[in-house]
Amino acid sequence: MARARTIHGVSVSPGLAIGPVHVVRAAPDAVPHWSVPEADIESEIARLRRAIAAASEELLRRQRLVAEQTGERDAQIFAVHRMILQDPGALRDVEETLRADRINAEAAVHALIQRLERTLRPLEGNSVRSYSADLSDPWREVLQALMHVVQPEISGDGKVILAAAVLTPQVVTAIERERLLGIVAEAGGRFSHAAVLARAFGVPCVVGLPGLLPRLEQGMQLAVDGGRGTLELRPGEEQIVDFQARRQRLEQRRATFAERAGDPARTSDGGSLQVQVNIESLRDFDIFNCAHSDGIGLCRTEFLYMERPQFPSEDEQFRMYRRVLERMAPKPVTLRTLDIGGDKRLPYFQTPKEENPALGWRGLRVSLEWQDLLRIQLRAALRAGVGRDLRILLPMVTSIEEVDATRRIFDGVRTSLLEHGWEVESDVPVGIMVEVPSVLFCLEDLLPHVDFVSVGTNDLVQYLLAVDRDNPWVSKLYEPHHPAVLRALARVAEVAGKAGRPSSVCGDMADDPATAILLMGMGFTSVSVAPYFLPEIKFAVRRTTLVAARELAAEVLSQSHVEGVKAVLAAFRERQLV
């Protein structure tokens, strides 16, 4: 029997699923292209319009199906898609292409889809909505109608895992909900319409699996871990048994976690850990209970910018931040200032092409170069923070000079607001992200200038180990449990503690319960995690003691090998958290 292959992707919807795969495609692999005689142009346009009508009917069918299964709110996705097909501008665009180039309707529609993707794909970054899919999906339906494409039949009445090139609403609704075990896709956005549907359906879903489809065969057995964002190909019998047992345990444990998710994360000997959540959008509030969280430890404000065709105004930002603060009140909300650059680009803001963008013009470096962007954002945040527990977090800090410069801008914005009659809180904490190694060596000097620190482990690990985790040649070297990384974290907690500054970890590393206990043992006062992991982290803290957490930290920090660290953490899980 072939050995299972584990592929790592991006989590869209948590949960575990195992079963046969059915490969579907949102669009044909090959689009025919031919020249149309001038005399036949009008008949070709009539064929195009008939296909649009047929696609609209299919979307209406899906809309009614989803309305019956999950309600009108989720069904509105297909209503929007029908409206897109009614856009006279897009139809005029296709018809003009058809007339000017004298090509067939399929080729003209395909050209429109490609233009949409070229225009909108720059809006898409890691973990953000897929605009190109949202706007091109309805036209793919038209393309299929023109070509009379029939998706491969999903035979029988058994349950399956769907696999596709792109996560789209058409993929999510390709089969009855009760038969849908899970979904995997080569590409797709975490906040695309399709992702919203997948979460509403409650099915495990993983995207970001390039090159997946050529490795699949219809009916191949897959195991999907939506929470971890992993996929196993052809799991063996032993692995299947293990996976099913893990799924049953997970269901039982999550029921237990949910019962006490609102209880504080306190140990039996008086220790405590603030457990907050990371969010990217107001939509994130739909997937967790605000009462269960100790606040928002990281609000990635750049996604407000990435979800718009131009820079959001001060009032737009004010309204968004105010809604976030009000949803979490009276608990704290930490807004990270604009963190663009690298893989997060704005289509309306031209940044230089860089050979190594991860080490280039990004984060606070952009804000200090384009200070008006920072001033507008700070004005909106300070206005929104009145009567609320607002905190400001600065990304990609490397020096005291950067912090001092930002502080001067912050103080100037606050003074200007007061002078113009705006009410502003007298004390809004300002903190820094610890993600650049230089900060580790000047932290004692930096702390008097800031109110708190938050470690972004995703980038800190990358920079400490000189590993691009998105580079397949070296991604296996990306190891959050490397002893150097853990010793760096321990240093941050120790120095911050001596200076009386709160310290937090907001990277993916904190999502693991044993690692969260380790961080508490090091001295961190809080962690900020993906909402899905919130109940389990709080449960883990209540299952242990502060003494045990400190002993775990001491034992882990004494290890010189990654495998030794992992063995210690595994033993702790078995001993304390099972």
Active site amino acids: 193, 506
Alpha-carbon torsion, ordered 344, 350, 353, 357, to 10 deg? -30
Between vectors from CA 355 to CA 354 and to CA 357, what angle results, nearest 5°? Answer: 60
Rounded to the nearest angstrom, the gap between the alpha carbon of residue 316 and the centroid of all alpha carbons in its chain is 22
Q: What are phi and psi of 80, to 5 degrees?
A: -65, -40
Is-contact 272 266, C-beta < 8 A?
yes
DSSP labels, 265-278: -B-TTS-B-EEEEE
For 471, the 3-state DSSP assignment is coil
Report CA-CA distances (Å) from 535 to 173, 253, 356, 363: 30, 10, 38, 31
Distance between CA 576 and CA 578 in Å, rounded?
6
Residue type, 385: G
Number of helices (H), then strands (E), belonging to the chain: the values are 21, 16
Report CA-CA distances (Å) from 74 to 196, 203, 567: 8, 15, 44
Q: What are phi and psi of 210, to 5 degrees?
A: -60, 140
Is-contact 367 305, C-beta < 8 A?
no
Strands 205-207 and 221-225: unpaired
Report CA-CA distances (Å) from 297 to 393, 423, 447, 574: 9, 24, 19, 29
Is-contact 395 339, C-beta < 8 A?
yes
Rounded to the nearest angstrom, the gap between the alpha carbon of residue 64 and the centroid of all alpha carbons in its chain is 29
Q: Which two tokens stand for residue 264?
A: 């504080």
Report CA-CA distances (Å) from 509 to 134, 190, 517: 31, 19, 11
Nearest to 138 by CA among 189, 191, 197, 62: 62
Q: What is the DSSP letter of 121?
A: G
Residue type, 548: A
Rounded to the nearest angstrom, the gap between the alpha carbon of residue 515 and the centroid of all alpha carbons in its chain is 21
Residue 109 CB contacts under 8 Å (≥ 6 apart), including other chains:
48, 51, 94, 139, 142, 143, 146
Distance between CA 381 and CA 417 in Å, rounded?
11
Q: Which helix (H) or strand (E) holds 91?
A: helix 88-101
Question: Is the bond leading into 513 cis (omega within 30 degrees of zero)?
Answer: no
Residue 112 CB contacts under 8 Å (≥ 6 apart), including other chains:
90, 93, 94, 97, 136, 139
In which residue are the tokens 């696999």 written?
163
